[in-house]
Structure formats: C-alpha cells, structure tokens
Chains A and B, each alone.
Chain A
Amino acid sequence: MIKEKGIKKLTAVLFVFFLFMGFWKSGSYNEIQKIADYLKQDMDQQETDDLVTINMLEKEFANQIWNRKKLINLNGKIARRLHMQGFYSDYGMYVIDGNYVVSPASYTTTDYEYSQTLGLKQFLDENGIHFLYVNEPVKYMDDSIFRKNFGVESYSNRNADMFLARIREEEIPAIDLRNNINSEGRNVKDLFYRTDHHWTTRAGLWATQIIAGGLNEYCGYAIDTSIYDESNYSMTEWKECWLGEQGRKLGVTYVGMEDYTEIKPNFQTNYTFKTSEEGEEGTFDDFIDEEVYYSDNDLYENSWHYSYKQKNCINNDVAYGKVLMLGDSYAQVTQPFLSLGVHEVDSLILRNCKDSFDLKNYIIENGYDTVVICYAQFMIGAHDNPSSANYRMFSFE
C-alpha cells in the first residue's frame, strides 16, 4: 500500500511537471490574452461570422502544442503498428500496400461539369479559339480497390468515364491520360507520390509530352514533342527527402518519406515572365524554387511538389502559340514544361479567382488561341459539395 502510494505520488509529480512544461513550451501564456479577447466579445451584437469560438482557439492551440510533430509521429507509429489502413478515413485517406495513400470519390451525375464544359466550348468556337480537355488520372485506375479492400465505393474513374464519354459525344477534343498509361503498360503508382495526391515531376513531364501531342492533333500546333524526351533533361534525385500533404496528416512514421526528382532542360532557355508590367527576363530555372530543397527541411511545412511554380510566361525561343491553361495543382509541373514548346502559356486556377471574375472576358481580352483544361479527375463532382475547395473549378461562366 505504501509502495502504491509512492508510485502514485511519483506519477503526480511527473504529471505536474508535464503540465507546467506543456504550459511553458506550448506558449500557453499567449493564449490568456486570446481568451480574454474571446470573453470580451459581445455575442449578441457581433456578426456570427466574426465571432471567435473556443473551438477555433482550441484548434489554433493544437497546432502549436509542445512536441506536436513528435506526437503526430507517435500517432502514425501506433496506426502503423496496428496496421490501421482506414484510421484516417475521415480525412478521406486510406493506406494500401506499399504505404500508398488513396482517397475515394463520391458518385456524381457529371451534369454540371458537362453543361459548363459544353457552354465554354460553344463560346470558344464562336470566337475561333481552340479547346482541349485533358483528364489527369488519380492514384488508382480501378475503383474496385476500395470495394475489395475497404468495403466502400469510389466513383472517381467511373465519373471520369461518364464525363469524358459525354463531352466526346459533343465532339470536344479530350485526352484521357489513363489511356496512355494503359497503352504504354505503365503502373499508375509509379506516376504518383505515395504520400501526396500529386503526380511526380517525371509524370508531369511525361504528361506534358502527351498534352503537346494533343495541341498538335487538335489545335493546329506543330510542337516538336521530342523536346520532352527525358534524354533532354538533367535529373537530380533525392532519396527519402520530403513528405507529401497526405503523409503529413498520417505522420512520417506511418507512411515514410518520399523521393524527389528535380527536372531541368539540358538545352538553353530564354523566358520573359509576366510578373511585372515590363516583364522579367529569365530561364527555366526561374520556375523552380530550389530553396525548398536546400533549406532546413521541415517535413511538415515544405511541399517539394510546390517548388515548381506556375508563372505566366513568354518563351522567347518559340514563335507560335498562346495558350491559357485552366489547371489545378498538378499543373505546378506541367505548365513550366508545356511552356518549353509554346510561345506563351498562362495558367489559371479557378478556385483561386474571385466570384466576380469573368473568365470569358479574360480569354478574349488576352487573345488566347487555345484554352486547355487540365484537371485531375477528382475535380469532377467537386461542385456537388459547396464547402469543397474545388467547388468553382468547373464554373466557366
């Protein structure tokens, strides 16, 4: 009994020490002012949207907690030890063999995407502008992996099949990169990061060659697609150097780190970037923020995928073409590569535009000869959910 008391006392001492260390190291004292401000709020006078809730403070505080990353890693280690593949399914993530993270997609009728795409096509036709739709795959080509492994349905590929069939019926030129994966006998897993929903830089380059071929086939371009052969590029490889966006939620101890390849052309490049009124001269290297690779690498902060930047640009070595690429974050790598074969490539991510943005006016004002939509197939159906970050991606009005 005396011994039991002793152990409990020791636990209590450790607990108190832990509480006060946590208080100090988490900067809890800074929260006192925030809580004071929270308590001063006039609940009945202020707009609901302006009100700070205790849940907001709690969430903010959880992000600065003492040893947060170690705790996330511990959580990942526990999930890994227990072989929990769906533990993070409320974040829309399942882990399949090889620590490869996949996300299911809900069924959609594709009606919204279809009508918007059709409307845009008609507008572009009326104005003599070419149009090309590119379907970027997701990390799995067969929806049934979800059914078989996890007992849930995913409709990502079926939604894409339905949407592409409908727009093809309307004679909208469309490239489905899944067909290229199949015909070339590639494994889709090789094209994606395990811990991130984006494709790799190599996959981006591979896809760009096919997109350039599509511009030649459907939009009157004559791009020498051999410029996208891997032999024309220097590749710098890092092993186990970063963690994707999905991996950050699961913890590096769960899914492990990711390899990365930086790809740069071997040939000379000469760009004018439209970052200012006069434009800024530069080379392909200016698309890449190498700080990310060489700075102190915070696994939970830096995304190496985003080291490639989408920049509106003029390639001074190419004479023809002015393309608007309506893309998503996959275009971080495709837009720079595509610009190697086109005189001018601008990119636009509609989810970042204001509600008042007039896409059609923008296209006419800038005199594009071609509009390319390059969307990951999970964009199809995003409009079904008003709270989705991608809700506006197919809003072309």
Chain B
Amino acid sequence: MLFIFLFLPVSLALYYLVDHGKREYILLAVSLMFYAIGSLRYVLLFCVAILLTISIGRSMSSIADMWRKKLLFALGIFLNIGLLGYYKYMDFAIISFNGIFDKEISLRNLALPLGISFFTFKAVSYLADIYTGKAKLVESPIHDALYLSFFSQIQSGPITRYNNMEFVGNSLFSDGVFRFLIGFNKKVLLANILGKITSEVFAAPFENFSISYAWLGSVCYSLQLFFDFAGYSDMAIGVSEMFGYRCMENFNYPYMTESVAGFWRRWHISLSQWFRDYIYIPLGGSRNHGSRFRVYFNLFVVWILTGVWHGAAWTFIAWGLGYWMVISFERFFNLPGRLEKRKVIRNLYRILVLVFINCQWILFRSENIVTGLRFIKRLFVCESNSLADIRTQFLIKDYFVFIVSAVILCFPIVSWIGKHLESKKKFHAVYETAVTAIVCVLFICALSFVVSGQNNPFAYANF
C-alpha cells in the first residue's frame, strides 16, 4: 500500500517533473531510497558494492592490456560473489562444517540484504559483458548504477542484461500501467489467496494428511509460486515501462511445458539464460570435448548452482540435483522428441513432467529433505483420514473460483481469444474493452483484499 499510494506516485511525479537529462539521477536516487526502506541495514554496503562494480567495469572497458583486464574481472567477480557468499551462505557453511567435523563454531545470524542474489547476478553479467566486449557502455556511469539498482527489479528480478536496459520513452507508459495491474492482480487475487491453503497444508502435521489433502496443498503451492513470481515480474516489467525502460520477459506459461527442460525455458527465463550464458556455455555447453559425459557434467554444475542460488540449504541442493537428473535423462533418451508420433504417451509424459515439478516444489518449500520426501510420499501413499478429506472438500469448495481461475490462467487462453478475434474488428474492440475493464475492476478487488489483511510478502523475495 505504501508502494502504491506513496512511493510510486512520488517517484513518477519527481521523474516526470524534472528535465529529461536529470531523470536517471532521480530514478537512481529513488531506487536507493527504495533499497534503504527495504533493507536499511545494508544500504551503505549496497552503495559501496555498486560503486566498486562500476569502477571495476569502467576501468576494464578502458584497459587494453589483457592481463590487467583479467585481473580486474577476477577482482570484480570475487568481490560480488564474496559478498553473496558471506551474507547468504556463511551460516550454511558453518552448520555443515560443524556437522561434519563435530565443531561448535557459532553462527553469524546475518540478515539477508534485499535482493542480494539478483544484484550479484546482474553485477556478474555486467562485468562479464564488459570483459567480453558485449556490453555497449553508455557515457554516463549513472546509467550503470541505475542498471544495478533499479528499484523495480532489485527485489526479485528479472535479471536483465546491461544492453537490454533500453530507454524507449514515454510511449511505454500505458503498456506499463496495464502490465502492472495484471501483475498486482495475479499476486493478490491468486498467489496470496492460494497461499492461504498452502500455508495451512505445509504447516499441518503429517498425521493430519490424506492423499487428497496433500495433492491440494502441493498443487496450490505450484500455482501460488507461479502467480506470485510471475505477478512480481509483471509488476517489475510494468513499473520499468512506466519509467520508459524495456524489461525482459521472465515467464512464458511454464506449466504448458512438454518436458522438464522445456519448463526451465519458460520459468524464470532471465535466470535460466544467465546460467546458460555465464556458466553452461563457458564450461563448454553441449559440445562433447571428446567425452560424451562432459555435457552432463556441465549440466550438473549448472543445476547444483541453480539449487544453491535459490537458497542456502540442502533441500535446494537436492532440488537442483533432481532437475539435473531428469533433464539429463530427457537429454539422454531424447525426450519428448522421440515421442513425437505417440500422442497418448507424449501427453502422459507431459502429465508426469507436471507431477515431477509439483514434487520438486514440495522439496523447495520443505524445511529439510526428509520432511519434503515424507510429504511427497503422502501424495501417493497415506493412511485414510476422514477429517483431512472433509477439510480438502471444504477448501476446494471455499476457494473453488480462485483455484479454477489459477488453473485456467496457467494457459494463454485470454491471448488466444484475442488472437482469434483479431480479424473480426468489432468483436476485437469489445474484447479489448472487456479485458481492460475486467483488469481494472479486479485491481480494485485486489486492493480490497490487501486492505482486509489478506496479504503476504513475495515468495521469491528471500533469494
């Protein structure tokens, strides 16, 4: 609410009231203010990290000597990864060390700086793109600072690239507003409401479970996570466009996927592409290098890092390993390509993929691997529990509209209708008006949900 009725109007007013040339300064100041509000303890650290990264990046760009360039690049990477390692992984490392070597080193109990994982990845891509000469640096380093700190993207991405942070101008404003409204509706009306079911199921003791209850909780979590993160991304893209900047897409109906590998080409696209460009390809990518297992090793590294990036816990490592195994399996057996002509089996495989992703999200959410596996077991084997079955029926009845809407909106039905009506001008105009009106009405409804206390933080904000 503070964001919508204070931060956004003040930022927009300041931004559009000043001269064109000063707008990036205003946006940078506003972004730093946003960071200070969200992570007061670390705002100074954030500023220092930005300054050092830009200094190193700009120095690299002006140096011809390859060795000095390499040294600077290594220094920049070391600084940024070091910060991430210290704040995000130190306690995890201490716990693991204590466990393995039976020591009692005390934990640091450090609060996580806001969006540190996203910032680090942007900083690394910034440095790497300068190092490889891909980045076309603009004259003003303020633009670089804005790229690293832009408030709409700092909390949970998308992890845009320097070259993609393109200023287009005011023409994007109305698209941005529309996109923001859609994202807000997704977050509040779908993610938050499904989150109520999810929170209940994941907090319930296993003796209160039935198969139907476990499925309801896990499916709702899969949907919640999608609408939460996709909603955030829509809002981030929308806000960027309101300020005249394009922002890359982050989701493309991921649950429509035909394979697990395909899922990651549709889910958190900016992260997948980051790993592809800065880890997988530098490792050799899909090239064999004389050994057919090299590519699986490369995938292994990518997926371990993907897991670790999502969180400092063994559950995330197991989660990453799970994806590595299944994606390697798909690669090895050329799935789902070899099922091209077997429609039934292909669809069956598609369902299996969704079940696997659903199980993965359970692991992702669970406190530890054992709890996650116990939950997954209950999707298939569970003692009957009439109370849990009644509860499941009640929750489905109570949240029916939201669950069904969420499932439907996992597919591009709205844009499909729009496409089909494109040729019929009259109908298309009605369609456009209706969609806009619905989005606006739903926005007011969403505000009512927030005011009534039906709100919770972004699920992806802690990475």
Contact = CB atoms under 8 A, between A and B. Distances in A.
A116 B334 CA distance: 71
A284 to B, nearest CB: 39
Contacts of A85: 394, 398
Contact of B4 (A14, A19, A35, A41): A19
Contacts of A84: 398-399
Interface stretch (B120-128, B349-357, B359-367, B382-390): B382-390
Contacts of B166: none
Nearest to A87: B398
Nearest to A26: B5
A65 B452 CA distance: 11
Given A4-B432, A84-B398, A150-B394, A22 B451 contact: no
A318 B145 CA distance: 81
A86 B393 CA distance: 12
A65 B181 contact: no
Interface string A141-172: 00000011111110000000000000000000
Interface residues of A, number: 57
A62 B1 contact: yes
B66 interface: no
Contacts of B1: 58, 61-62, 65
A52 to B, nearest CB: 10
A83 B453 CA distance: 19
- A interface: dominant SS: helix
Given A19-B12, A151-B392, A11 B178 contact: yes
B40 A251 contact: no
Number of chain B interface residues as a range = 35 or more
A8 B12 contact: no
A147 to B, nearest CB: 6
A123 interface: no
A44 B393 CA distance: 49
A150 B391 contact: yes
A149 B2 contact: no
A22 B452 contact: no
Interface of B: 1-2, 4-6, 8-10, 12-13, 36-38, 40-41, 173-178, 180-181, 196, 387-395, 397-401, 429, 432-433, 436, 439-440, 444-445, 447-454
Ordered nearest first, which 10 A-B pairs have the shortest CB separation? A151-B391, A151-B390, A12-B174, A75-B448, A22-B5, A8-B174, A71-B448, A75-B452, A74-B448, A12-B177
Interface of A: 3-5, 7-9, 11-12, 14-16, 19-20, 22-23, 26, 28, 31-32, 35, 38-39, 41, 43-44, 54, 57-58, 61-62, 65-66, 68, 71-72, 74-76, 78, 82-87, 89-91, 147-153, 249, 251
Given A28-B10, A54-B38, 20 more contacts: A4-B432, A7-B432, A8-B178, A9-B174, A14-B440, A20-B13, A22-B5, A22-B9, A28-B2, A38-B40, A61-B6, A62-B450, A65-B1, A76-B452, A86-B398, A148-B390, A150-B391, A151-B387, A151-B391, A151-B394
